[in-house]
Chain A
């Protein structure tokens, strides 16, 4: 396989709070290929947002501290760059979209001003050229009547329209990677489907690689080619989307998929995963899912399973996989 565009290797992030040091992200590794969409999926507290924020170097330090690992973008380790170099990359080679565009857009500037600012800083465009390019971008994200909307303030737009402006802003300087952290979670389902449709379409046209952080397996199934499943700070399973859904290996992945209420299933009882996440400060030598896993034995309690390949390209971190037969 070609050299990945973005490669996260053995990333470990710790938080120091109240004199306690806790591991929020532990030994996380994955690759994002050019032109691909990679989904990072998991529930609250799994470390997916901490992972994406540390890639962008947006975690406040202290309390956060990247304790180990590398984040290679086109061969360069982002963790070693100066803040100045990093600022050049954000909004340039790395585009970002967040869940609530209202908090990421500046309320006192028009949408156009914010896009033009990005173009000026990163691409050196100014004046009419910048304004024309901004209108072109708003057209690209299918904002209705962009030549008028460009002078609107964020509060004059609906949630879906604001997210379109965020995407235009993120794509302004032809980024190599777009990091989207729960980009549709705050939107209504018909608007969500419009935004996902737009992201797919833009990817086909621009070839931007997308890292999509989400809690929603439905969104993953509809947009991603590769999936990374996280639990309690670790990657517990990863692989191509078809394989993860057709052949889930980790007991947590299996439980998570079975817990999703399906529209085609009738009034059946939902499968749930009993128990809850272990507290992050608890030092667990073994598998973090062991306390909720019906298959866990002494080895699972004592020894942390590493990712290993079960079928080509499909890795799982579980001593018991593949779970078959009498189990």
Chain B
């Protein structure tokens, strides 16, 4: 099947200006030379820590930020060269969900009004069919039709995210960029929203670019994962491959640092040192070398290109070398008592 989304060499640099003359004193290299493809029905997760450029990438894909270089093709059409009018039409097919939909919902509009707007604007409904269409959207996202008459502040965090998803779905997009959609939610609610996103993907054949810092959530939702560090993809692989056989030292550090909800496997390994350098003054060579336990002279001078190693794509000079100190893979899904009792609860719940 042809790829739905093709990103080639996408770059977004922000000029930094200072003083009365607004002279450019530097550049923030937020996203540099990012390439990937995405199919229908597929979820690609973009993971990384704050400042790695993952949110800028998400916005550049939709041209909410104008890319500095590179091309974006959606369904074979070059989105990068579209003029404003054509872009507005293309936006129908690509939507975004934010971490906190509250900021993007008009507090003075009921949910019905907020959802009706894009439907009418894009000609997805007529005044005669609009009521039914809003009801359909909102129930599809796990809310009841009467919720439509309410205002955003009347909803809990999880419900508000359902409204955000409903609004993204209004124009029947083929691609949704999800920017940290569950990061602000409590864990029991987070699970509801992750499940909803998966159900909708199955029903509607959606493609997701899922931006997240949470490796646990990503494992559950993504088919493929791209790890970003200081604006570049440093590793990309199928999800199981990335978690089971990470080749980039940064990927390994991220996986090792994520806390595991299991005291039996909680390891106290020394974490990697230091913090992320500024994207205005990138280190020479490989940007990760100042923190990398494997760095050699070559890493300081020569930037590694992304290449195939095993079944991963990795940007690391030392990616072919055998990994020392493998990650402990915790077995199974939690303790036997937890699973047994969970099964009892679920059975009772199913029985009503």
Contact = CB atoms under 8 A, between A and B. Distances in A.
Interface of A: 43-44, 158, 160-161, 188-194, 196-197, 200, 215-222, 241-242, 245-249, 251, 254-274, 276, 294-295, 323-324, 327
Interface in B244-263: 253-263
Given A190-B272, A258-B334, A260-B216, A221 B345 contact: no
A272 B188 contact: yes
Given A191-B275, A254-B341, A269-B198, A263 B188 contact: no
A160 B275 contact: yes
Contacts of B324: none
Contacts of B341: 248-249, 251, 254, 323-324
Given A266-B219, A294-B348, A258 B195 contact: no
Contacts of B216: 260-263
- Name the prevailing secondary structure of the B interface residues: helix
Interface string B78-89: 000000000000
Q: Which of A158, A216, A222, A324 has the most CB of B within 10 A?
A: A222
A265 B192 CA distance: 17
Contacts of B219: 261-267
Contact of B195 (A188, A219, A262, A272): A272
Contacts of A197: 268, 270-271
B24 interface: no
22 contacts: A188-B50, A189-B49, A189-B254, A189-B258, A190-B49, A191-B275, A215-B186, A217-B187, A221-B259, A245-B264, A245-B334, A246-B337, A247-B337, A255-B345, A256-B188, A262-B262, A267-B239, A268-B333, A269-B195, A270-B194, A276-B156, A295-B345
B266 A221 contact: yes
A267 B239 CA distance: 9
Contacts of B260: 218, 221-222, 262-263
B273 to A, nearest CB: 8
Contacts of B262: 221, 245, 262
A192 B344 CA distance: 35
A167 B245 CA distance: 36
Contacts of A242: 263-264
A201 B55 CA distance: 35
Contact of B257 (A190, A241, A246): A190
A257 B334 contact: yes
B240 interface: yes
Contact of B346 (A218, A219, A221, A271): A271
B330 interface: yes
B127 interface: no
Given A258-B338, A327-B348, 5 more contacts: A190-B275, A245-B334, A259-B191, A260-B187, A263-B258
